[in-house]
Chains A and B, each alone.
Chain A
Amino acid sequence: MVKSTIIARVADGLPLAASMDDEQAESELAGYKSQAKAIFKKLNSQSEPMCSIESGPYYLHYLLDQGVCYLCICDKSFPRKLAFNYLDELAKEFYMSYGSEIERGNLRPYAFIKFDTFIQKTKRIYEDSRTQQNLSKLNEDLRDVTQIMTKNMEDLLWRGGSLDRMNALSDRLRDHSEKYRKDARRLNLEALYRKYGIPAAIILGFLLILYLRFKVF
């Protein structure tokens, strides 16, 4: 089922509306919601218009329409087709209600929070994927979901970042090996001292005494 829904502006990632979730969902989804925010930051008008992103036990489905991103967090078992139908329905209604105001410059965050009422209502219709109505939606080929890209959250968030990470890793490796070489050299030296240090000192002392003796007598 749909766990949470967020609607944001693509241009600057400003959230426009969101669903109010119950406590359990709130604490479980906190991490995934911040991932959603990360996605909003990465999106631009050239991004794929529809995408499903896999993350932990959930799918994050998003849909771009008229400069607005509609994103929902769903269970993995929830049919993708239904999820995109749901987002589509939200998009239509949202654009009809607030389409003219979306581009306004001085919008406050969650300016259209009253859309929550509609989100909740729609969410309940899609709650159970086995209802007759939803089954028929599944069977109708309204949207070809097979074309929709599926990505992994890890890839998405780390793309670009991974090369840097590799670089940093190898740098660190080189630094470390340098340090090890130095340490090994020092250790060897110490072992040498420990092994031959005392006999050498005794012999030296003995020689010194002999030498002094020869000198004196």
Chain B
Amino acid sequence: APQQPQGSGGQGGFFVPGASQAPVASATMAAGSSASGYPAPPMQQQQQYPQPPQYPQQQQYRQPPQYPQQQYPQQQQQQMDGITQQFSQMGVGQSQQDYQTALLGGKPPITALDEAPPPIRLPPGSTCVPSPFAQCPASHKRSTLNAIPRSDKLLRKTKLPFGLVLTPFKSQEPGEAPLPVASDIVRCRRCRTYINPFVQFVEGGRRWKCNLCGLSNDVPLSFDYDSATQTQKDRWSRVDLNHSVVEFVAPIEYMMRPPMPPVYVFVIDVSYAAVQIGAPGAIARTVQAALDDIPNADGRTKVAFIAVDTALHFFQLRAGSPEPQQLVVGDLEEVFLPSPTDLLVNLQECREGISNLLERFESMFQSNHAVGNALCPAVQAVLRLLGGLGGKVVVVQASAPTIGEGRVEPRAEGKDLGTPRESELLRAQNGWYKNMAAECSRPQIAFDMVFMGQQPMGMETVSSLARYTGGSVFHYPTFMAARRPETERLTRELRQHLAADIGLEAVLRIRASKGLRMAAYYGNFFLRSLDLLALPNVTPNHSYGVDLEIEETLTAPVVYFQTALLHTTAQGERRIRVSTLAVPTTENIHTVFHHADQVAIASLLAKKAVDRALVARLEDAREALQHKALEIIAAFKTECTQASSGATTQLQIPHALRLLPLLTLASLKHTSLRAGNTVSVGARIAAMNLVLTLPPEMGVQPYSVARMFALHDMPPQAGYADESGAVVLPPRLGLSAEALAPRGIYLLYSGVDSFLWFSRDASAAQCHSLLNEPNVGSIPNGVITFPNLGDAPEFELNQRTNAILRQLSSQSHDLWSPMTFICKEDGEPLIRLMLSQRLVEDMDPSAPSYQQFLGQLRDKINRGNF
């Protein structure tokens, strides 16, 4: 065998089975990168690599502070791959055992969900400046494979899904510095890539080589010389060469028109069905409470209100006049606006009138007995109202639209649930809403749908409005204004949603290195051209999935993905947010498996499955999901283990993918895809929309795989803040009824809802400390908002649980404010059923238990036919 290079240089610290020195090197690398999960900045590897060769034309520009510029020849890496292949074929690879896990008989290693994704190990010298911020954080954009196979053939061999999951408008975590802002934009002449930390400077720094297409571009003078102050500048301190996520202030060329103000239009159902559950009043009070939170930095924010029953009620508000005037339009054939002005008004100027209107809103429609809903004419009116401006439209529906072209027939779904006919129920009844959404996307109008109550509302049809305009879907099926936990949840969630710092009139484009192609996109958007996603509104917690294909064999050691989101901030600034992700390539199949990101894979597969369920059948989607897991494990067995054919008693799985069976099972049992007749169409549509839009950090856990904690037996530090201010969470438990011990109290949190489980003989003292109830028997069954009992030491458990809930909520950006279901061991069967559906490791009528699922997978793989 050829001489092995020192350290792990050739592979940049890749995991390579059988390479004797690799584990040592990767251990040192991991130490540097463990905190964030990203490779350590090259600075730390300085001693390993010789000093950079000096440029001959040195006078041109200064060297970067430490410039670990060294070309790693291509052959060296191929050599390495060759060696490792030999080793693995000989079967002497010692470390091969380290990255395989045998799954059978044990519990799923659920704590692995809290681990960072597998590190992206770039070869040294990939970045032009040694900056710790050069690599894109996984929360902004993550690849399902953190080592990308060089050829399509190899990718097909692994069966792994290849794609990206990105959250382009992610807000910064509390405590994180705001995103760096740059003002001058430098882009590649040919492929229009924005300059980023991974470009290379050539010809003595006079030109820069684009890392996506390889074209050499001239370096602008402004890199080294500031003409305004007539001084030399240090190009290596430029923001866009140091940070992978940068916001550029857009110059005039990026504007079609002046930046638009934030605009909020509320279309509220006030028909009999809505009044019955008290929806108009609850919404009016929520909006009233949110008026101060709505982004309005410039005082330009505009609002309008339209109440909808069998007619359209507009409200005219005048600056300085506190009296709102109601204008009713009954002619719904040709929708017109009853007044050319004063329907869409400035929030600040008409604040008094708006407050008065919202105060009276409930009493105005309290005795409304009109049955029917004119949503379609209302949408047409909104299009007229916002045609030139754009904006966000919040549609509150409690009944099915009955008037106009887009009317929806309420369908009896009861007997079709759980049968193949169920897929029919999930398909839109007409294309009106989709067409309307497409029409609204050009003038930058986005729809958020709030569905309330039990009435059939044609959610499968109407929700297209949100799906194709980048909006969100909210669903409150059990809402009654009289129930306090319900109203509190609605108010908190909608308030949070309205207060969010949204991006307006946005477009998103993703670029990738040569040889890679975007095959499909998943999420809420309208595809304007082949690769341009139109997002009239972009919400911080919306993510998008992208399927990637390898079109031609990749030759570069690293490939790049660049996302550019052009948007207008709520403060009236036009900006471009650019993020660049670099991922190394490999020819070694072991490396591909070892660097697969199981959370990203689960997230992308769930998005694809939902997309498939909406166009094809539910069974197809479930089948495809299951088949994919099977394929991946079988591929691993044939390609990477010694028992490549033949039966084995244990299921061998790469360490990096050890949660794949559990995540697949959780997706199959999730509301969005669950088999059986326990999920209504509305709940399924709402869940599907969440799966399509949630980023992996929230969609996989807690939304798909809930978190469960024992409250009766917490370690002493749990529930209190640690030095950094974050609340320490108790150890998480497996999602199985086995974990529920007698005398225990448990908390299960899935984001949209949370459960408190009390065993029959839970300690009375703890019941008192948690809920101020003398014993388990006196705790009422049903739904509560988890109470805050104050600082008294006797309620210690309550304070700690509140702290834990706050921490969990902030981890999901306060998107949800779940109600708490009290579930007693011998209590309400319906709530027990709901809880048991969240315990994904257990068997239930629709799906096998985790152990059975593993057994099925193993048997099918052993038989070799699937």
Task: Evaluate contact between A113 and B443: CB separation under 8 angstroms.
Answer: no
CA distance A110 to B259 in the complex (A): 7
Q: Which of B251, B259, B341, B387 is in CB contact (< 8 Å) with A113?
A: B259
Q: What is the interface size of chain B, counting residues whose CB is below 8 A from a CB of the partner?
A: 27
Closest B residue to A37 using CB positions: B252
- Please determine whether A20 and B574 come into contact, CB atoms closer than 8 angstroms: no
A15-B252 in contact given A22-B387, A110-B259 (Cβ < 8 Å): yes
Q: Is the interface of A mostly helix, strand, loop or mixed?
A: mixed
CB pair A113 B572 closer than 8 Å = yes
Flag whether B260 is at the interface (Cβ < 8 A).
Answer: yes
> A25 and B388: CB pair below 8 A?
yes
Q: Is B261 an interface residue (CB 8 A)?
A: yes
**B573 contacts the other chain (Cβ, under 8 Å)?**
yes
* Contact yes or no, B573 A116, CB < 8 A: no
Stretch of A76-84, A101-109, A133-141 that contacts chain B: A101-109
Asked if B257 CB lies within 8 Å of chain A CBs, one says: yes
- Contact A23:B255 (CB < 8 A) given known A110-B572, A113-B300: no
Whether B389 is near chain A, meaning CB under 8 Å from some CB there, is yes
Residues of B within 8 A of A21 (CB): 388
B364 to chain A, nearest CB (A): 28
Give the Cβ gap from A118 to chain B, nearest Cβ, in Å.
Answer: 10
1/0 contact string of B295-314 vs chain A (CB within 8 Å):
00011100000000000000
* Max chain B Cβ within 10 angstroms of own Cβ: one of A15, A26, A106, A109: A109
Given A23-B388, A25-B388, answer yes or no on A109-B298 (Cβ-Cβ < 8 Å).
no
User: In the complex, are the beta carbons of B388 and A110 less than 8 A apart?
Assistant: no
A114 interface contact, C-beta 8 A: yes
Binary contact readout B235-250 vs A (1 if CB under 8 angstroms, 0 otherwise): 0000000000000011
**A20 x B228 contact (CB < 8 A):** no
Is the CB–CB distance between B299 and A109 below 8 Å? no
A114–B301 Cα gap in the complex (Å)? 10
Q: A20-B261, A116-B300 are in contact. Are A109 and B255 (CB under 8 A)?
A: yes
Q: Does A68 contact B (CB under 8 A)?
A: no
B residues near A22, Cβ cutoff 8 Å: 387-389
Q: In the complex, what's the smallest C-beta–C-beta distance from B457 to chain A, in angstroms?
A: 30
How many angstroms from the CA of A181 to the CA of B261 in the assembled complex? 64
A86-123 vs B, Cβ < 8 Å mask (1 yes, 0 no): 00000000000000000001101110011011001100
CB closest chain-A residue, reference B384: A23
Q: Does B258 contact A (CB under 8 A)?
A: yes
- A117/B388 in contact, CB under 8 A: no
Q: Report the Cα distance A22→B572, complex, angstroms.
A: 18
Let me know if B389 and A117 touch, CB within 8 A.
no
The reply to whether the CB of B85 lies closer than 8 angstroms to some CB of chain A is: no
| Given known A15-B258, A116-B258, A117-B300, contact A109–B389 (CB-CB < 8 A) | no
**How far does the alpha carbon of A17 sit from the alpha carbon of B251 in the complex, in Å?**
14
Q: Number of contact residues on A: which range applies?
A: 20 to 34
Q: Does A14 contact B (CB under 8 A)?
A: yes
Question: Which residues in A have their C-beta under 8 angstroms from that of B300?
Answer: 113-114, 116-117
Q: How far is the CA of A77 from the CA of B770 in the complex (A)?
A: 75
Contacts A14-B252, A15-B258, A117-B346 known; A109 to B387 CB distance under 8 Å?
Answer: no
Q: Which residues of A are found within 8 Å of B183, using beta-carbon distances?
A: 106, 108
| Interface presence of A24 (CB below 8 A) | yes
Verify if A64 is at the interface (C-beta below 8 Å from B).
Answer: no
* Residues of B with C-beta under 8 A to A117: 298-300, 346, 348-349
Mark interface residues in B810-826 (1 if CB within 8 Å of A CB, else 0): 00000000000000000
Q: Flag if B388 contacts A108 (CB, 8 Å).
A: no
B251 and A109 form a contact (CB under 8 A): yes
The residues of B that contact A108 with a CB separation of less than 8 Å are: 183, 249-251, 573-574
Contact indicator A23/B443 (Cβ below 8 Å): yes
Instruction: Tell me which residues across on chain A come within 8 A of B572, comparing CB atoms.
Output: 110, 113-114
A18 within 8 A of B: yes
Q: What is the distance, in angstroms, from A192's C-beta to the closest C-beta of chain B?
A: 57
What's the Cα separation between A25 and B341 when bound, in Å? 15
Question: A26 vs B387: C-alpha distance in the bound complex, in angstroms?
Answer: 10
> A26, A106, A114: which contacts B257 (Cβ < 8 A)?
A26
Collect the chain B residues with CB atoms within 8 Å of residue A114's CB: 298-300, 572
Task: Give B548-590 interface residues, CB cut-off 8 Å to A.
Answer: 572-574
Contacting residues of chain B (216-238) with chain A, CB-CB under 8 angstroms: 228
Known A20-B261, A110-B255, A116-B300; judge A105-B228 contact (CB<8 A).
Answer: yes
Mask of A155-176 contacts with B, CB within 8 angstroms, 1/0: 0000000000000000000000
0 or 1 for each of B68-103: is its CB under 8 Å from A? (1 = yes): 000000000000000000000000000000000000
Task: Determine the chain B residues whose CB is within 8 A of the CB of A15 once the complex forms.
Answer: 252, 258
Q: Which A residues are CB-close (under 8 A) to B261?
A: 20, 113, 116
**Nearest CB in chain A: distance from B353 CB, A:** 16
> Which residues from chain B contact A26 at a C-beta distance below 8 Å?
257, 388
The residue in chain A whose Cβ has the minimal distance to the Cβ of B443 is A23
> Which residues of B have CB within 8 Å of A24?
387-388
Q: How far is the CB of A12 from chain B (nearest CB, A)?
A: 10
Q: Is B387's CB under 8 angstroms from A110's CB?
A: no
B interface footprint on A1-32 (CB within 8 Å = 1, 0 otherwise)? 00000000000001101111111111000000
Complex formed: what's the CA distance from A116 to B348 in Å? 13
Which residues of chain B are near A106, meaning CB under 8 Å? 183
Inter-chain contacts of A120 with B (CB < 8 A): 346
Determine which of A14, A20, A105, A124 lies in contact with B258 in the assembled complex, contact meaning CB atoms within 8 Å: A20
Chain A min CB distance to B569 (Å): 11
Q: How far is the CB of A120 from chain B (nearest CB, A)?
A: 8
Q: Beta-carbon contacts of B370-414 to A below 8 Å, as 1s and 0s? A: 000000000000000001110000000000000000000000000
Contacting residues, chain A, for B341 (C-beta < 8 A): 124
B349: chain A residues within 8 A (beta carbon)? 117
B258 adjacent to A18 (CB under 8 Å): yes
Interchain nearest-CB distance for A156 vs B (Å): 22
Task: For the complex, give the distance between the alpha carbons of A106 and B248 in Å.
Answer: 13
| B389 cross-chain contacts in A, Cβ below 8 A | 20, 22-23
Chain B residues near A105 (CB-CB < 8 A):
228
Would you give the 0/1 interface string for B159-193, flagging 1 where the beta carbon is closer than 8 Å to chain A?
Answer: 00000000000000000000000010000000000
Among A18, A25, A109, A116, point to the contact of B574 (Cβ < 8 A). Answer: A109
Residues of chain A within 8 A (CB-CB) of B346 are: 117, 120
Instruction: For the complex formed, measure the closest distance between the CB of B701 and the CB atoms of chain A, giving whole angstroms.
Output: 40
Nearest opposing residue in chain B for A33, CB measure: B257
Q: Report the minimum CB–CB distance from A20 to chain B (whole Å).
A: 6
A residues less than 8 Å from B574 (CB atoms): 108-110
CB-CB under 8 A from B249, the residues of chain A are 108
Q: Please, how many angstroms separate the alpha-carbon atoms of A108 and B299 in the complex? A: 19
How far, in angstroms, from A110 to B569 measured CA to CA in the complex? 13
Please indicate the chain A residues that have their CB under 8 angstroms from the CB of B252 in the complex.
14-15, 109
> Across the interface, do B257 and A113 meet the contact criterion of CB distance under 8 Å?
no
Query: Would A23 and B387 count as touching, CB distance under 8 A?
Result: yes
Q: Tell me the complex Cα distance, A72–B630, Å.
A: 67
B334-356: CB near A (< 8 Å → 1, else 0) gives 00000001000010110000000
Give Cα distance in the complex from A120 to B350, angstroms.
14
- Of all chain A residues, the one with the shortest Cβ separation from B251 is A109
Closest chain B residue to A17, Cβ basis: B258
Residue contacts A-B, CB under 8 angstroms, 28 given: A17-B258, A18-B258, A20-B258, A20-B260, A20-B389, A21-B388, A22-B387, A22-B388, A22-B389, A23-B387, A23-B388, A26-B257, A106-B183, A108-B183, A108-B249, A108-B251, A108-B573, A113-B258, A113-B261, A113-B298, A113-B300, A114-B298, A114-B299, A117-B299, A117-B300, A117-B348, A120-B346, A124-B341
Q: Which 10 A-B pairs have the closest CB atoms?
A: A23-B388, A23-B387, A114-B298, A22-B388, A18-B258, A109-B252, A113-B572, A110-B258, A26-B388, A108-B249
- Inter-chain pairs besides A109-B251, A113-B259, A124-B341, 12 sampled, C-beta below 8 Å: A19-B258, A21-B388, A23-B387, A26-B257, A108-B250, A110-B255, A110-B258, A110-B259, A113-B572, A117-B346, A117-B348, A121-B319
